[in-house]
Amino acid sequence: MLIYETSNFIVESHEKPFVPRTDGGHIRIRIKNEEITDRTKLEPKIAIELMRLTMIVGQALEKAMNNRGIPVIKINYQEMGNWAWKTNSKPFLHVHIFGRATNAIKQPWPESVYLPDRGTGFYEGFEPLNSEDIKEIQKQIKVTLKEEKYKEEKWNL
């Protein structure tokens, strides 16, 4: 489900999450130009945009989930793309953003996120972010974008 969009990136709820919403939630930022397979292929300005966007979305996710009653204490960021090779599909740049809640059950804090193959059944029952979570994340993105730290001119955008 779409959360936010820029000219180069789409921020979306991961509908088959690696971290269920009750454990903190899972968002994916993906590049629109799927010919770009990893960060080394980015032009400098787009790389800066991605770094800024991951920070904004991470901050918004933490605040939003706490506002929704899920005690997120940490945000993890992960760029992967390995599983594309399993299906012979072409990998594209995307960053996973995981909320880490102090009361997590499936992906317990402070352990690393456990990411077995989807075929194991580990992720069964992992609930994605719901529409109310997404509305709160969108609200927090708007708030975060107004912070002095994230003004585009500070980032030369």
The correct CATH number of 2-113+127-155 out of 3.40.50.720, 3.30.428.10, 3.30.70.260, 3.40.50.1980 is 3.30.428.10
- What is the signed CA dihedral for 147, 150, 156, 157, rounded to 10 degrees? -110
**Is 0.75 surpassed by the pTM of this model?**
yes
Cα dihedral across residues 153, 51, 60, 102: positive or negative: negative
**Which pLDDT does position 88 carry in this prediction?**
63
Break the chain into its structural domains and give their ranges. 2-113+127-155
Residue tagged 């002095």 (tokens): 148
Q: pLDDT tens, 11-32?
A: 999 999 999 999 999 999 999 9
Residue 11 to residue 136: CA distance in whole angstroms: 14
Q: pLDDT tens, 43-95?
A: 999 999 999 999 999 999 999 999 999 999 999 999 987 766 667 678 899 99
**pLDDT, mean over the chain:** 95
